[in-house]
Amino acid sequence: MAASSPIRVACIGAGYFSQFHYGSWARIDDAILVGSCSRDIEKARETGLPAYDNLEKMLNETSPDVLDIILPPVVHAESIRTALDCGVKTLVCQKPFCQSLEEAREMAMLADSAGARVVVHENFRFQPWYREMKRVLDRGEIGNVQQLTFRLRPGDGQGRDAYLARQPYFREMKRFLVHETAIHWVDTFRYLLGDPVSVYADLRQVNPAIAGEDAGYILSEHHGGVRSLFDGNRTLDHSADNHRCTMGEGLLEGSEGTLSLRGDGSLWLRRFGSRQESCLLEPNACPGFGGDCVHHLQSHVISGLLGEQTIENEARSYLKVIEIETAIYASSQTGQKLKLE
């Protein structure tokens, strides 16, 4: 696409999280928003864009280059099919992508057959602290990496009214902690360390008011004997003014040093044998969600469409994340460590 012609973007979905999508697209010079679709058309009208309650009608009338699907997994496949039938060639689809591995594979194949691309809106790898971690790793600054740990503690899952105020559909998800939340770190860990070769998981439900699991451990082995540990509990919190900035705390440890991620988004390096820490990344000052990661991802997509870089997390490659997720649930159900092909 030529930079002289703004990339036309239409969106379906106008729920809580969509505010970050619409706000980001509006800030990208090479993109222009052309329509909003929601089954509740009043919510679509609140965006200030041409409003629709029928996706096919919006696509036919606005002729977008990109459709941004900002909806729960239950309607991903339907939206993708409609968009492909209407000739849309680039789709951005919220995670978790589709309802199952089989459905995700089918959607990836349909897009390939239509000569289209689906980019999964997996934005945590675009958070500035993880991009900085990757740069540090690529420079070899902490020596031989041995382990990566993240403690998820958003503190939003206690009580009978958990999640009602912001994303009430969370309560009905029978696969919750991993499918909705830990999937972010499955992708981020493979971004930092490469694909795991095995997983072991121990998942449990703490809050009886919801349908799915909300706590657990996921231990993954990566090439070279490197381990990653996701320790998640949505009913507990961590030390931060904004618990949704990083949603927890992390450590990336190597033979020559340790990187520490704090709840304010700051990243610190301590050399092996030293008690002194140096700040590599100042506390997050961006008002957007998670270090403005939605905007970083969407800017990355537009840059890719303009031929300036290769787009990350296209559906075909993202299938690996869903395969890992499937193995995590199987491991927890069987109590066994499972090898990954």
Q: pLDDT, tens digit, for every residue of 269-283?
A: 999 999 999 999 999
Sign of CA dihedral 88, 89, 92, 93: positive
Residue with tokens 């096919």: 56
Residues 6 or more apart whose CB falls under 8 angstroms from that of 40 comprise: 14, 53
Alpha-helical (H) ranges within 235-307 are 293-305
Q: 125-290+321-339: which CATH architecture?
A: 2-Layer Sandwich (3.30)
> Which residues of the chain carry a pLDDT beneath 50?
2
Domain coordinates in residue numbering, the chain: 7-121, 125-290+321-339
Coil, strand or helix: which one is 53? coil
pLDDT at 287: 85
For 7-121, the fitting CATH number among 3.10.180.10, 3.40.50.300, 3.40.50.720, 2.40.37.10 is 3.40.50.720
- Check residue 2 and give its pLDDT: 46
Omega into 96 within 30° of 0, i.e. cis? yes
pLDDT, position 288: 86
Taking the chain, what is the end-to-end CA distance rounded to the nearest angstrom?
Answer: 37
The Cα 325–Cα 17 span in angstroms is: 23
